Chain A
């Protein structure tokens, strides 16, 4: 019998049963690790981050209200942890400035979705590693986790219109860096 994430959380909170934790760990550990390695770009740091994120999740499990999906809640902790960790490391304050600088650019979103989804994986990885961490995270949330605008707004604690704007700018940034790296295509 399979139980949902939410049921496993409830059961864990009531019984502290290790099996519930094992279940959640088997469902999400590799995904969390994948996101950490994608953002932090370092296997060892991703390993430490996965561990700390899971400890954080377990210690805050009682705060999970069930308003959003458990996966959305877990991803919000993961993305916010990774973004904070990058910011602490690099003191990356250029993100906002870059966002503002891109305000006047225009983009054809319909075409870009197709372009992004069908891009060569190696190229995708290279370009994602070259754009600011917030842009990268928002693209991963939208295209990898397939979160809705509403869910992304919950993760980043921003309004839905702000998220739409951020996605648009992230795509513009991606396109710009792609053109710089692959002028022929």
Chain B
């Protein structure tokens, strides 16, 4: 087999890895675990935060409208949709 000094250099460099293998692997697992944790948090809480904001802004979900079944109060029927405009 012909000589390849680049391959020999690679072997030399890889020798420095001995003893570090386990520690680096643990760190990688910690990092991945942390990312999964953040992902789970986002998955769990973001929809709820959106719901809270919708609640604060007064927006109603489609189900709530359906429950009312179009039976609006007399106030809402009497008052114009845009009070300060001529309809």
Residues of A within 8 A of B (CB): 25, 29-31, 33-35, 37-38, 43, 46-47, 50-51, 54-55, 58-59, 116-121, 124-125, 128, 139-140, 143-144
A116 to B2, CA, bound (A): 12
Q: How far is the CA of A43 from the CA of B6 in the complex (A)?
A: 19
Contacts of B12 in A (CB 8 A): 121, 125
A29-B17, A33-B20, A34-B14 given; A51·B9 CB < 8 A: no
The reply to whether A144 and B3 form a contact with Cβ atoms under 8 Å apart is: no
Partner of B17, one of A34, A118, A140, A144: A34
**Complex alpha-carbon distance, A34 and B7, angstroms:** 11
The yes or no answer to B78 lying at the interface (CB within 8 A) is no
For the complex of A and B, the 4 pairs showing the least CB-CB separation, nearest first, are: A34-B13, A143-B6, A144-B6, A34-B14
Give the residues in chain B near A117, CB-CB below 8 Å: 2-6
Q: Which residues of A contact B31 (CB under 8 A)?
A: 51, 55
Interface size on B, as a range, is 20 to 34
Compute how far the CA of A144 lies from the CA of B10 in the bound complex, rounded to whole angstroms.
7
Asked if A116 and B14 sit within 8 Å, CB to CB, the answer is no
Contact of A124 among B9, B25, B32, B35 (CB under 8 A): B9
- A55 touches which one: B16, B17, B28 (CB < 8 A)? B28
A118 to chain B, nearest CB (A): 5
A121 touches B9 (CB 8 A): yes
Chain B positions near chain A (C-beta within 8 angstroms): 2-14, 16-17, 20-21, 24-25, 27-28, 31-32, 35
Secondary structure call for the A interface: helix
Can you give 11 contacting A-B residue pairs, CB < 8 Å?
Answer: A29-B17, A29-B24, A33-B16, A34-B17, A37-B16, A54-B28, A55-B31, A58-B28, A117-B3, A125-B12, A144-B6
Contact A34 B25 (CB under 8 A): no
Residues of A within 8 A of B13 (CB): 33-35, 37-38
Closest to A119 in B: B5
Decide if A47 touches B4 in the complex (CB within 8 Å).
no
Q: Which of B6, B11, B20 has the most CB of A within 10 A?
A: B6
- In the complex, what residues of B have CB within 8 A of residue A25's CB? 25, 28
Would you call B32 and A58 a contact (CB within 8 A)?
Answer: yes
Contact check, B10 vs A31: say whether CB atoms are below 8 A apart: yes
Instruction: Name 8 extra pairs, CB < 8 A, besides A31-B14, A59-B35.
Output: A43-B16, A54-B28, A58-B28, A117-B2, A118-B5, A121-B9, A143-B6, A144-B9
